[in-house]
Copies of this chain bind each other. A is one copy, B any other.
Amino acid sequence: MHTQDEDVATAHVAKRALAVVNDDKHVEAYYMGWHEAQSNPYDAVQNPGGCIQLGLSENTLSLDLLDDWFSTHSTAPALELENVLNFKAIAGYPDVYHGLLIFRNLMANFMNELYGGAVSFDPEKMVITTGATSAIEILAFCLADPGDVFLVPAPYYPGFERDIRFRSQVDLVPVPSFSSDGFAVTRAALEQAFEDAVSRGRKVKAVLMTSPSNPLGMTYSRDQLSVILDFIGQKDMHLICDEIYAGSVFGTTEFISIAELVMPPRVDPNRVHIIYGLSKVLGIPGFRVGLLYSWNSLVLDAAKKLTRFSSVPTLTQQILISLLSDTHFLRLFLSENLKRLQQRWRLVSHGLQEAGLEFVNCTAGFFCWVNIGKVASVQTKEQELELWSKLLHVEGLNVTPGSACQCSEPGWFRLCFAYVDDQTMSVALDRIKRFTASL
């Protein structure tokens, strides 16, 4: 822990900078495990005793398809750098920071098709950002002032802590859910969390949710979404719906976009804001392409101006314009990718069953929600973190502890299953089976 006195006696920095440096207590294990796994990665030949990364929600299962596309399309218009005109377009300041219109058009078309035609996205309501991370942060900035509160159905994505608290200084309040209830978000729990925050003198500005859910790997039904929409309408709040895993629904449940339910007067469109991006659906987080979608003109105005700090380079947009224009390839890619996710989940769920573990039957995303604590007699958060540390340091498995997702029941863990290859996944499952057998 850094303090002013220790190392910078004479030069004072801002309180908010100190908070960024120090305030990671909520999710320490999440980042620690991630980096430990990356620094000592398992390799069947080079490092068979290394750590297997099950803590990173990244999908590498279909990278070969994209790689092929890039190899055979290296002469696509966007990658041709032969003439000054083209290079000038890439080198110079863009006319707008929130995404070229042609790129936003193609993103809207892509999402329209991906969402099954149930929604028609308008490129003018779209703000392109440096990854969805930045879009979330911009929405937090726009919807709440420092010290205000967002309610977040738990368990939730550990990264929200840094996304929301760091720069926008908005506080997150978990809305608990329980395994006995299938981890459903209930009106009663929302009300309770709201009342608690208000009684502590806090202003509650929004509900923030990921749909399909990270870490639960579940889609939300129309009824469940309506419960939340009714709640935010009655409480004069906003809803931020992070739909980054739309397009990664490989199971039999249906994905319903919140956009389908935005119908005045029952639902005021000015209150609903969607997060999307290409990191998950195409498996390219390194490209840093996210977006926010809003019906609220004030939010759009402010967000567009704020993209001066987090714009996507023109080169990246040009490359993706080529890719998004190839709708034939994208259709094949998306369907093959879902097949591979399905196949991987079959392998994983089979292994978890063999290990005798309880888990949520996931249908979306790159992760599953597994109760490892029960077989290891975990009763408390401390015991959960001990178990997590043992899995990481003894078994060579980095998984995300439920407490980093603000889960109210100790013992649950998130296992990301789409980052490693088949062979590594099998070794991971063997390690899990060996561990549960040893108990």
Using a CB–CB cutoff of 8 Å, the interface residues on chain A facing chain B are 2, 4, 7-8, 10-18, 20-21, 38, 56, 58, 60, 63-64, 66-67, 70-71, 74, 81-84, 87-95, 130-131, 133-134, 137, 141-146, 148, 162-163, 166-167, 205, 236, 238, 268, 270-271, 283-288, 296-299, 301-302, 305-306, 308-316, 319
In the bound complex, residues from chain B placing their C-beta under 8 Å from that of A90 are 286-287
- B236 A12 Cβ-Cβ under 8 A: yes
Across the A-B interface, the 9 shortest Cβ-Cβ residue pairs: A11-B270, A17-B142, A67-B87, A17-B302, A70-B81, A20-B302, A286-B314, A91-B284, A21-B301
Other contacts beyond A16-B141, A21-B302: 20, CB < 8 A: A2-B298, A7-B297, A8-B297, A10-B236, A10-B271, A11-B238, A12-B236, A14-B145, A14-B148, A16-B145, A58-B92, A60-B92, A67-B83, A67-B84, A67-B88, A89-B286, A92-B286, A133-B309, A287-B313, A315-B319
A309 touches which of B17, B134, B144 (Cβ 8 Å): B134
* In the complex, chain B residues whose CB is within 8 Å of the CB of A14: 141-145, 148, 205
> Is B268 in contact with A11, judged by CB distance below 8 angstroms?
yes
Chain B residue with Cβ nearest A319: B315
Closest residue on chain B to residue A24 by CB atoms: B305
Most chain B CB atoms below 10 A, which of A4, A38, A311: A311
Complex Cα gap A309–B146 (Å) = 18
Chain B proximity of A161: nearest CB distance (Å): 11
Smallest distance from the beta carbon of A175 to chain B beta carbons, Å?
Answer: 21
- Whether the Cβ atoms of B286 and A2 lie closer than 8 Å is no
A162 touches B288 (CB 8 A): no
23 residue pairs from A and B, CB less than 8 Å apart: A10-B271, A11-B270, A13-B142, A13-B296, A14-B142, A15-B145, A17-B141, A17-B143, A20-B306, A21-B301, A58-B92, A60-B91, A63-B88, A63-B91, A67-B87, A90-B287, A91-B284, A92-B285, A130-B310, A131-B311, A166-B308, A286-B314, A313-B316
Please indicate which of the listed interface residues A18, A91, A284, A319 has the most CB atoms of chain B within 10 Å of its own CB. Answer: A91
Report B-chain residues with C-beta under 8 Å of the C-beta of A146. 146
Q: Is the CB of B87 within 8 A of A63?
A: yes
* Chain B residues within 8 Å of A315, by CB: 286-287, 315-316, 319
